[in-house]
Amino acid sequence: MPLSALALITVSALMHAAYHVLYKTSRDKQAFVWWLLAVTVVVYLPVVAALFPVIPARGWLLIVVSAVPQAAYFVFMSRAYDAGDLSLAYPLARGSAPLFIALWAALFLGERLALLGLAGVLVIILGLWLLNLPKDGRLGSTMRALAEPAARSAVLAALAISAYTTIDKVGVQYVPPLPYFYLVSILILAIYSAYLVVTGQVQRLAICWRAEWRGLIPSGIAMTLCYVLVLRAMQLSLVSYVGSVREISVVFGAVLGAAFMKERYGLPRAAASILVVAGVLLIALARAAQP
C-alpha cells in the first residue's frame, strides 16, 4: 500500500472515531444520523456544484446501488449503539468488515493479496476480535456475547460496510470521490427519511437538532470528509488493504470510549490495539509486492 494511501486512511480513521463518540453519546441516534446526512447535503452543495463532473451511466448505477447498504449500515449501527457500549459495538462492526471485504474483493474484483499483505489483514482481524473479548476473556463468553442484540446489529452493520465498500471501490473509477459520496448521501437521506416516516420517528428530528446541533454540524462535515479520504485511498490501493487499514479507527474508538465515556480498556485491549497497528504496518510494507 502506498504511504500516501496509508496517511489518508489514518487521518480518516481518527476523524471517524471522533464523530462516532458524539454519535454514540447522542440522545436520539436515529435522528442524529438523519441530521448527519442533512448537514452533508447542505454544507457540501456549493463545492460539489462547482466541481460536478460528467457521470457515465455505470457511475450513476453504482451510486444508486451503494446507497442501499449504506442506509442499512446507519440503521444497524444506531440499533447497536442503542443496545450496547461503543467499545463493544464499534469494534465488532468495524472489525468484522475486513474479512467480508477481502472475500468480496477476491470473488468479484479479482484482487490477489501479497503474502505480507494477507498476513497484515489477518493480524488486524485477530486484533479487532480480541478487542471485542468480554471481560473474562473466554471464547464461550464471546460466542454468547454475539447473541446479544447489540452484537447482532453490529455484525449486520459489518456486512453492510463490506458491501458498500466493495461497490465504492468500483464506483470511484467512474466518479470522483466527493461528488460520488455526495450523491450517495442524497439517496441515503431519502431512504432514511422514508425509514423514519414508516417507524414514526419524524417528530423527533426537531428535538434532536435543538439539543445537539453543536455536535451535529462538525460531525456531518467530518463524516463526509473522512469517507472521501477513504475513497481517494481506494483509487491508490487494493480495497482489501484499504478496508482493513481503515479499521485502525477501532483502536481510536476504544481509546476515546475509555477516555470520555469511562468504558473499560485495560491491558488486553492495549495488546489487541498493538496487534491492529502491527497489521497496518505489515500492509504498509506489502506495497513493495503490490501497489
List, as one string, the DSSP characters of 5-48: HHHHHHHHHHHHHHHHHHHHH-S-HHHHHHHHHHHHHHHTHHHH
What is the predicted pLDDT for the residue at 116? 82
Inter-residue contact 169 to 53 (CB < 8 Å)? no
Helices 86-104 + 57-83 axis angle, to 10: 150
Please give the backbone phi and psi of residue 54, each rounded to the nearest 5 degrees, phi first: -80, 125
Q: Which three cell numbers stand for residue 270?
A: 492495549
**Reported pTM:** 0.84
Residue type, 192: Y
What is the predicted pLDDT for the residue at 139? 44
Cβ-proximal residues to 209 (8 Å cutoff; 6+ apart), any chain: 31, 35, 216
Cβ-proximal residues to 72 (8 Å cutoff; 6+ apart), any chain: 156, 157, 160
Cβ-proximal residues to 73 (8 Å cutoff; 6+ apart), any chain: 157, 160, 161, 164
Per-residue pLDDT of the chain (291 residues; tens, 9 = 90+): 788 888 899 899 888 888 877 877 788 888 998 999 999 999 999 999 998 999 999 999 999 999 999 999 988 888 887 776 666 676 777 777 888 888 898 889 888 878 888 888 888 878 877 766 655 454 444 555 556 777 788 889 989 999 999 999 999 999 999 999 999 999 999 999 999 999 888 989 999 999 999 889 999 999 999 999 999 999 998 888 888 888 787 777 777 766 666 666 667 767 777 888 788 778 777 754 454
Question: Could you tell me the sign of the dihedral formed by the alpha carbons of 88, 159, 102, 5, in that order?
Answer: negative
Scanning the structure block, which residue is given the C-alpha cell 498476513? 119
- d(C-alpha 287, C-alpha 291), whole Å: 5
Residue type, 252: F
What total number of domains does the chain contain? 1
Q: What number of CA atoms fall less than 13 Å from residue 228's CA on the CB side? A: 19
Structural domain boundaries, residue 123? 3-288
Opening angle at CA 263, ends 125 and 152, nearest 5 = 50
Cβ-proximal residues to 273 (8 Å cutoff; 6+ apart), any chain: 127, 131, 251, 254, 255
Inter-residue contact 8 to 232 (CB < 8 Å)? yes
